[in-house]
Structure 1
Amino acid sequence: MTVLILTRERDAIADMLARMLGDKVACLDLGDLPAQIKLTATWHGGTITGAITSGARRVRLQEVKSVWMRKPSILEFPAGAREDWITRESVHAFIGALRALPGVRWMSHPDAQEKARYKLHQLAVAHEAGLASPSTLVTTDSDGALAYLDGTHAMACKTLSGHHSDFPASGIISAPTTGMGGPQKFSTCFQRAVERATAVRLVAVGGQIFCARSIDRSWRQARVPTGTATKIMKVMKSFGLSYAAFDFAEDVGGRWWFQGIDPSGSFSALEREAGLPISQAIAEWLLDK
Structure 2
Amino acid sequence: MILLCGIPSEPPMARVLARVEQLGLPHLFFNQRHFKSAHIAYELRGGTLTGTLVLEGREYALEDIRGVYTRLMDEQLLPELRGESPGSEAHRHCARLHEVLRSWCELAPCRVVNRNRPMESNASKPYQAQLIRESGFLIPETLITNDPEQVLDFRERKGRIVFKSISGVRSIVRQLQEEDLTRLHRIRWCPVQFQEFIDGTNIRVHVVGNEVFATAITTDVTDYRYARKQGASHLEFEPVELPEELAERCVCLAATLELPLAGIDLKRDSEGRVFCFEVNPSPAFSYFEENAGQPISEAIARYLWWGAAESRNRRDDR
Cα distance in 1 for partners of 2:92, 2:143 equals: 36
- Residues 71, 88 of structure 1: alpha-carbon distance in 2 compared, 3 angstrom cutoff: closer
- Which residue does the alignment assign to 1:135? 141
Question: How many corresponding residue pairs?
Answer: 278
CA shift for structure 1 position 245: 0.5
- Which residue does the alignment assign to 2:256? 238
Q: Which AA in structure 1 matches 2:55?
A: S
Cα distance in 1 for partners of 2:74, 2:135 equals: 32
- Residues 40, 11 of structure 1: alpha-carbon distance in 2 compared, 3 angstrom cutoff: same
CA shift for structure 1 position 244: 0.2
- Which residue does the alignment assign to 2:98? 91
8 Å contact from structure 1 (residues 33, 91) kept in 2: no
SS state of the match for residue 181, structure 2?
coil
- Which residue does the alignment assign to 1:148? 154
SS state of the match for residue 40, structure 1?
strand
Q: Which AA in structure 1 matches 2:169?
A: G
SS state of the match for residue 273, structure 1?
helix
- Residues 56, 90 of structure 1: alpha-carbon distance in 2 compared, 3 angstrom cutoff: closer
Q: Which has the higher helix share?
A: 2
- Which residue does the alignment assign to 2:227? none
Cα distance in 2 for partners of 1:131, 1:183 equals: 29
Range with greater deviation from structure 2 (260-269 or 49-58):
49-58
- Which residue does the alignment assign to 1:247? 265
CA shift for structure 1 position 286: 0.4
- Structure 2 counterpart of 1:265, from 283, 290, 302: 283
Range with greater deviation from structure 2 (268-277 or 207-216):
268-277
8 Å contact from structure 1 (residues 151, 174) kept in 2: no
- Residues 97, 190 of structure 1: alpha-carbon distance in 2 compared, 3 angstrom cutoff: same
Range with greater deviation from structure 2 (267-276 or 46-55):
46-55
8 Å contact from structure 2 (residues 3, 68) kept in 1: yes
Cα distance in 1 for partners of 2:201, 2:305 equals: 35
CA shift for structure 1 position 135: 0.9
Deviations 1:139-167 (A, max 9, x none): 33444434433374211111232247xxx
SS state of the match for residue 270, structure 2?
coil
- Which residue does the alignment assign to 2:60? 59
SS state of the match for residue 302, structure 2?
helix
- Structure 2 counterpart of 1:121, from 106, 124, 127: 127
Cα distance in 2 for partners of 1:264, 1:40 equals: 26
Range with greater deviation from structure 2 (140-149 or 122-131):
140-149
- Residues 53, 138 of structure 1: alpha-carbon distance in 2 compared, 3 angstrom cutoff: farther
- Residues 97, 152 of structure 1: alpha-carbon distance in 2 compared, 3 angstrom cutoff: closer
- Which residue does the alignment assign to 2:222? none
TM-score normalised according to structure 2 size: 0.75
What RMSD, in angstroms, separates the aligned Cα atoms of the two structures? 2.9
8 Å contact from structure 1 (residues 7, 73) kept in 2: no
Unpaired runs of 5+ residues, structure 1, are none
Unpaired runs of 5+ residues, structure 2, are 219-233, 311-318
- Residues 148, 42 of structure 1: alpha-carbon distance in 2 compared, 3 angstrom cutoff: same
8 Å contact from structure 2 (residues 238, 292) kept in 1: yes
Range with greater deviation from structure 2 (230-239 or 178-187):
178-187
Match runs of 1:1-289 below 5 Å? 1=1, 3-8=2-7, 10-22=9-21, 24-28=26-30, 32=33, 35-43=36-44, 47-55=48-56, 58-75=59-76, 82=87, 88-101=95-108, 103-150=109-156, 152-159=158-165, 160-163=167-170, 169-174=172-177, 177-181=181-185, 184-195=188-199, 197-215=200-218, 216-288=234-306, 289=310
Cα distance in 2 for partners of 1:85, 1:137 equals: 43
- Residues 4, 143 of structure 1: alpha-carbon distance in 2 compared, 3 angstrom cutoff: farther
- Residues 58, 265 of structure 1: alpha-carbon distance in 2 compared, 3 angstrom cutoff: same
Cα distance in 1 for partners of 2:247, 2:104 equals: 35
Cα distance in 2 for partners of 1:253, 1:44 equals: 57
Range with greater deviation from structure 2 (201-210 or 128-137):
128-137
